[in-house]
Amino acid sequence: MRIFLALGSNLGDREANLITAKDLLMKKDVLVVGQSDVRETKPLGQKNQPDYLNQVVEVRSSLGPMELLQVCKEVEAEMGRPGARVGNVKFGEEKWESRVIDVDILFYGDKEIRTAELTIPHPGALERDFILEGMKDLDEEFISSRIMGS
């Protein structure tokens, strides 16, 4: 099953944060098998913040979608992101606020999930240039089929 995640950071050593996030994922049964080029992007929403470094990664995991979401939030929390959820504990954060790391599930095979906690495919997956470009780096046919099917 093909699983794609988006990574983003605009605080601290942004490039090191992307590397650390991938390392932490690998320690939690999430094997990174492909990665796009790193792209620098302007922030969405609040404009008075540093630019982001973004990357799309393809991963393999035995975790289900909700378990993978929990791992993504654990990585965010371990790296000091406000708003990351561990269990039922959520720390405050504004939407579009600067962050040490953001880890989002873009695609989980062909699954479509719509819950309060998780939407797959990610709502911004076909709208954000850095995701489209990153997906093309990894598998242009995969993302093209999603665009044509939307």
Mean pLDDT of 92-116: 84
Task: Report CA-CA distances (Å) from 14 to 10, 19, 102.
Answer: 6, 9, 11
Contact 86, 76 (CB under 8 A): no
Bridge-based pairing state of the strands 85-86 and 113-114: unpaired
Dihedral pair phi/psi, residue 83, rounded to 5°:
90, -10
Instruction: Give the pLDDT score at 93.
Output: 47
Spatial separation of the C-alpha atoms in residues 14 and 50, rounded to whole Å: 10
Question: Would you say the C-alpha torsion 26, 29, 34, 40 has a positive or negative sign?
Answer: negative
Categorize the per-residue pLDDT at 125 as very low, low, confident or very high, splitting at 50, 70 and 90.
Answer: confident
Contact 116, 17 (CB under 8 A): no
The letter for the amino acid at 106 is L
Categorize the per-residue pLDDT at 30 as very low, low, confident or very high, splitting at 50, 70 and 90.
Answer: very high
Which SS3 state, helix, strand or coil, does residue 6 take?
A: strand
Fold for 3-149, please state it: Alpha-Beta Plaits (3.30.70)
